[in-house]
């Protein structure tokens, strides 16, 4: 086993083996929209100084290079902040190559939106560039528990595209908010509360009215409910914290194109309340887990990953609501 030891500013992880609107008619993600790069898609400008390389709205695959989440960056006078280290060393390097086409400023911060593999496994590349790696304290705990297994999974999928990928130290953590000065532009890291996964945060650029929402908000692809996802708490966070803050801002979700609050509200809050409502009826009528798997979710059938996730989501929500 690997021993994980927490340092003063983070955790030293033992080196591991290298190896704007959703449309009902949208097709599943093509295999690769940017074949000359390990990136799934070329970065697009969201607002002045804010860019995002939109990932595939499918699962990890060799074809999408592990790029199935959004990799974003913010450019200031002092340097660049990257949101999400990426799923692999070479994927992070590919993003950096695109950044260097836009600016010669150094990447000084990398912020992981949570502890999932596609947020943290590319951190090693960025650390080599001298960047400070930042994540929520709970995301750090998730990395300690699942980082090595996630690395092994991605190595199996990406094969030679995983070359150089290893777990590295996360330098700084925070609990509620952290503010970073990039020079002429401010970045605020915000933990709104429990959401999709452990340690989810959003990144706000006030001068550009942009929220890089991360996995707080979904559109274009169906949100996944993990075994430890608390959908009741997610909805509470949405209503009490995220919605009042984000309602008039440009939203870049964790997966899918930039959009507005109304869109992510429809496909995130709306979906969670829809399924929870159906499950509540089942429970009142003495329904079973098998019945939950058969809940009609056809209003959401156009979302990518619907076939893979819809029944599983309903089952996990049913199991949780039995004990609420």
Q: Could you tell me the pLDDT band of residue 55, with boundaries at 50, 70 and 90?
A: very high
pLDDT at 10 over 50: no
Tell me the average pLDDT across 192-203: 96
β-pairing, 50-53 vs 177-181, is: unpaired
| The pLDDT value given to residue 1 | 24
Task: Read off the pLDDT of residues 268-298 as tens digits, 9 standing for 90 and up.
Answer: 999 999 999 999 999 999 999 999 999 999 9
More confident residue, 245 or 324: 245
CA 203 to centroid of chain Cα atoms: 11
pLDDT at 195 over 70: yes
Task: For tokens 């966070």, name the residue.
Answer: 237
Q: For the chain, what is the mean pLDDT? A: 91
Task: Read off the pLDDT of residues 216-269 as tens digits, 9 standing for 90 and up.
Answer: 999 999 999 999 999 999 999 999 999 999 999 999 999 999 999 999 999 999
CA distance from start to end of the chain? 36
pLDDT at 21 over 80: no
Residue 188: which H helix or E strand, with range? strand 186-190
Cβ atoms 121, 98 nearer than 8 A: no
Alpha helices in the chain (DSSP H): 89-102, 117-120, 123-128, 137-158, 231-237, 243-246, 261-264, 270-284, 289-293, 306-321
CA proximity to 98, closest of 166, 38, 186: 38
Percentage of the chain beyond pLDDT 90 is 89
| The pLDDT value given to residue 172 | 97
* Residue 111: partners with Cβ closer than 8 Å, 6 or more residues away: 81, 82, 83, 84, 134, 135, 187, 189, 201, 203
pLDDT at 11 over 50: no
pTM greater than 0.75 (yes/no): yes
What phi and psi, each to the nearest 5 degrees, are found at residue 246?
Answer: -95, -5
Give 5: exposed, middle or buried? Use CB within 10 Å, 0-12, 13-18, 19+: exposed
Q: Could you tell me the pLDDT band of residue 28, with boundaries at 50, 70 and 90?
A: low
| The pLDDT value given to residue 3 | 30
| The pLDDT value given to residue 201 | 98
Task: For tokens 């950096």, name the residue.
Answer: 96
**Treating both helix axes as pointing N-terminal to C-terminal, what angle do 306-321 and 270-284 enclose, rounded to 10 degrees?**
50
């Amino acid at each position: 086993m690997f021993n994980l030891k927490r340092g003063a500013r983070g955790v030293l992880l033992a080196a591991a083996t290298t190896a704007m609107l959703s449309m009902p008619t949208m097709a599943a993600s093509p295999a690769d929209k940017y074949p000359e790069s390990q990136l799934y898609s070329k970065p697009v400008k969201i607002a002045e100084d804010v860019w995002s390389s939109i990932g595939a709205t499918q699962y990890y695959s060799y074809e999408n290079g592990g790029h199935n989440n959004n990799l974003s960056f913010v450019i200031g006078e002092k340097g660049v902040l990257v949101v999400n280290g990426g799923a692999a060393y070479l994927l992070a390097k590919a993003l950096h190559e695109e950044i260097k086409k836009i600016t010669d400023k150094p990447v000084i911060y990398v912020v992981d939106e949570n502890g999932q593999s596609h947020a943290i496994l590319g951190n090693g590349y960025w650390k080599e560039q001298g960047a400070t790696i930042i994540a929520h304290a709970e995301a750090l705990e998730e990395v300690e528990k699942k980082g090595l297994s996630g690395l092994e999974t991605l190595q199996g999928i990406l094969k030679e595209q995983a070359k150089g990928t290893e777990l590295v130290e996360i330098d700084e953590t925070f609990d509620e908010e952290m503010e970073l000065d990039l020079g002429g532009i401010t970045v605020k890291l915000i933990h709104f509360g429990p959401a999709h996964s452990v340690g989810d945060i959003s990144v706000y650029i006030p001068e550009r009215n942009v929220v890089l929402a991360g996995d707080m908000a979904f559109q274009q692809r169906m949100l996944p409910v993990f075994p430890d996802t608390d959908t009741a708490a997610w909805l509470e966070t949405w209503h009490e914290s995220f919605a009042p803050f984000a309602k008039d801002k440009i939203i870049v979700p964790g997966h899918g194109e930039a959009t507005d609050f109304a869109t992510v509200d429809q496909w995130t809050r709306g979906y969670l309340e829809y399924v929870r409502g159906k499950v509540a009826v089942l429970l009142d009528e003495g329904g079973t887990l098998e019945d939950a798997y058969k809940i009609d979710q056809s209003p959401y059938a156009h979302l990518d990953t619907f076939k893979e996730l819809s029944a599983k989501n309903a089952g996990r929500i049913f199991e949780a609501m039995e004990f609420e």
